[in-house]
Chains A and B, each alone.
Chain A
Amino acid sequence: MSDLAQARTFDEFMEGIWRQNPVFVMVLGMCPTLAVTVSAINALSMGLATGFVLVCSCGLVSLVRNIVPKEVRIATYIVIIATFVTVVDYVIQAVSLAVYDALGAFIQLIVVNCIILGRAEAHASKHPPLKAMVNALGMSIGFVIGLLALGVVREILGAGTLFGFSLFGANFQPWVVMVLPPGGFIVLGAWLLLFAALKRRKEARLAAPGDGHGA
């Protein structure tokens, strides 16, 4: 019995990392995904900031889920999410001004990140706090992986560095378009192509009709 419960929790956790990855499967939160992933460190900090907001707000939304009337639930969720965004804003200023300047307005814009409101509405408001937070943690890690996948590629190609360390020496001619906005679309497109190809191959191998792969 406890094995089953553990398996369920693990499933809940893995959902966001793989099956429902917010970037590659649900294609949510594209605004920060495309805008701040010019370097790996920016991608990581943005992912962690969003993850903190996601986990905390899902926990609090889940705690108050039974006392919030359905008429004001969205207003309540937004207030809760905005609170944790403000907290994360202060914390980043205290930790590193360089990161704060690099992320700019996108920290405040976490408020309107659809991944967070989506999780609060679709999951946290229907499940107990622990379960909601585990699910949110999985989603956060999935989001961090998604952002890093873009940030690492764009930094290596566009600046020849990884986390600020030079990879190719002085003779490397950076592929500047990769750190410009078009590079975000190009890299995201390449990743989505890869994931779609993987999915198609898996489906072809299973060749099991009607096993409920919904859009």
Chain B
Amino acid sequence: MSAPVPASTPAFALIRTLGLVSTICGLIIVGAYQGTYDAAAANRRLALERAVFKVIPAAESMVEWQATPQGIRPAGGEATAGAVKFYATYDAAGALAGIAVEAGAKGYADTVRILYGYSHGCQCVSGIGVVSMKETPGIGDKIITDKAFLANFQALDVRLNAELSALANEVKVVKHGSKTNAWQIDAIAGATVTSRAVGKAINDSAQQLLPRLVPEMEKLRKKES
């Protein structure tokens, strides 16, 4: 249509330059990925282990399992759709120390991801830890520091009903100071939304996992070598 732009670079030169630069950049990225892969994977594993061992203080080692609608099996191979991941932890003697499960629910700012420990002896939640959250500093993040709130999770009742199909009592977050039952969680005053997210995360995850896990608990008793 109109006259071409004067002194424009031929298309071939443009492609050649971009191709060359992209090749160099590709090599740099692959090099960096290869170089850091092991350290990054080790880091992620360590962070997970540290979080799990904090929730279950007696734990010395852990094995990853998954619970499918058909039953539980060690993780590995292809993941089944609808499977729930959990970590069986063992103490120094190789006896089951507790089960750690990751759960999440929508909080005030974003999903609050927590890790909770399930103890089969009391059929209760024995501790929680936060994996990630973006709650308001000084308000929502009290769920890590507030001692009265954390006391809710020393023995939070998550017993199953007689048919082992669901929790006998739904885990419920109640208004600050009105907890009367072992399956209730006393919310933090002023951080109700975040408190509710923790309760909902535990309830949703336990409702899904425990009916599959509890009937097959024997499989986890001893650490497999």
Contacts and interface: CB of A to CB of B under 8 A. Distances in A.
B137 A69 contact: no
A75 B33 CA distance: 23
A94 B18 contact: no
A63 to B, nearest CB: 9
A147 B14 CA distance: 38
A67 interface: yes
A93 B21 contact: no
Contacts of B14: 69, 71-72
Contacts of B82: none
A33 to B, nearest CB: 18
B17 interface: yes
Contacts of B17: 64, 67-69, 72, 76
A69 B13 contact: yes
Contacts of A94: 36, 39-40, 43
A84 B29 CA distance: 8
Interface string B1-26: 00000001100011001101110110
Given A68-B17, A69-B9, A83-B29, A180 B137 contact: yes
A11 interface: no
Given A83-B28, A91-B32, A72 B18 contact: yes
B44 A97 contact: yes
A128 interface: no
B27 to A, nearest CB: 9
Interface residues of A, number: 32
Contact of B25 (A83, A93, A158): A83
Given A94-B43, A101-B132, A180-B136, A76 B29 contact: no
Interface of B is mostly: helix
Contacts of A174: 138
B95 interface: no
Interface in A76-128: 76, 79-80, 82-84, 86-87, 90-91, 93-98, 101
A154 to B, nearest CB: 11
B63 interface: no
A79 B22 contact: yes
A31 B42 CA distance: 32
A60 B22 CA distance: 12
Contacts of B9: 69-71
A100 B8 CA distance: 44
A130 interface: no
B32 A86 contact: yes
A67 B18 CA distance: 10
Contact of B33 (A64, A67, A90, A98): A90
A179 interface: yes
Contact of A91 (B25, B36, B138): B36
B8 A97 contact: no
A194 interface: no
A76 B35 CA distance: 25
A60 B44 CA distance: 32
Given A69-B13, A83-B25, A91-B32, A76 B18 contact: yes
A167 interface: no
A93 B36 contact: yes
A90 B136 contact: no
Given A86-B29, A93-B43, 11 more contacts: A64-B20, A68-B17, A70-B9, A80-B21, A87-B28, A90-B33, A93-B44, A94-B39, A97-B43, A98-B47, A180-B137
27 contacts: A38-B137, A67-B20, A68-B17, A70-B9, A71-B8, A71-B9, A75-B18, A79-B18, A79-B22, A83-B28, A83-B29, A86-B32, A87-B28, A87-B32, A90-B32, A90-B35, A90-B40, A91-B32, A93-B43, A94-B36, A94-B43, A97-B43, A97-B47, A101-B132, A176-B138, A176-B139, A180-B136
